[in-house]
Structure 1
């Protein structure tokens, strides 16, 4: 299955470079380009890409608002934020807006290609160079109580949730818990559904904003779970 990609960046050379890089992959097709946020929204509506590579700082309409508008129309689209700064304050806002992850523009080319495949497959992506920065930022934000729906998670779903927040892939979670990839995917699907989250990136944001796994018992102030 071919992954359809929209590249949005206000620098022509960056757009051309990304298109050249991605078009060389047999399973990726660059279906459209955009030089600003308004063009990105329009092109996303026209071409319905699977993945949008979104520069966060663009004229007319920035990548943050463009992300919100694109996902408001089609929540199945995955947005990967492109940034030159590993602690860009807009990165965190983009994640809250629904972006599935972000990468640095100076990451190795193979990392960018892997990022497209990762988010197209439904997983969240946090560039290794910025993961710790994201964690520190979210732990400094004003904390919110976990949603009541957390109480409906089984013990195993909570384990999977915790490992997701640590950045583990499905295969790594399966190896850690001695369960199959298929079983991991089932748990992930169920916990996202229960918490009404669109993808793993939103799950990670929720965990850090609530401090869910920093407490000895994440359900201490909520209804008991059944321990399964």
Structure 2
């Protein structure tokens, strides 16, 4: 039985970590939508594409491939370059451009269509736009303060004040984005993990996934 799972939520809520753990546990195919937006940011900045018109013209030159959760463009592994402060600060700009979102959604939809395994995708508009008919939809969230504290622990050289401001600014941009904003769809299972450990958060997700699989197997 093949199933599709969508996980949405604000930045630094732990979506990528949880998605990776679930994919490993159940043998699902995992797609990190945020990695594509970060990849576009990396390539566009490298090529000095900062105006909307330049970005749109450059999109057809991208040749993204996802292999073992690492992102390649024209054969070059750009995964590590996707995780730095410069990308953090600029990714929301590129993600706000309609043509960029259409490009990423097409890439993800192609993955979903060709996948021979159950699929789990995380992002900010997966349940609302990319996989509106997903079998299970989750919304993972926590307070901005909790998310900031976690990110400071994960990344050296970041102050709590600076990180909190960044997260709150990013939340505002994501929620108020003109195209495909961050939303919690009505049929999503909401999981708030302010007071949950990683193991407890994973257990909560698995409870719902196991129940769904059990019902479908009857």
TM range (shorter): 0.3 to 0.5
In terms of Rg, which structure is larger?
1
Normalising by the residue count of structure 1, what TM-score does the alignment of the two structures yield?
0.32
TM-score (norm 2): 0.33
Q: Indicate the structure whose relative CO is greater, using CA pairs within 8 Å and at least 6 residues apart.
A: 2
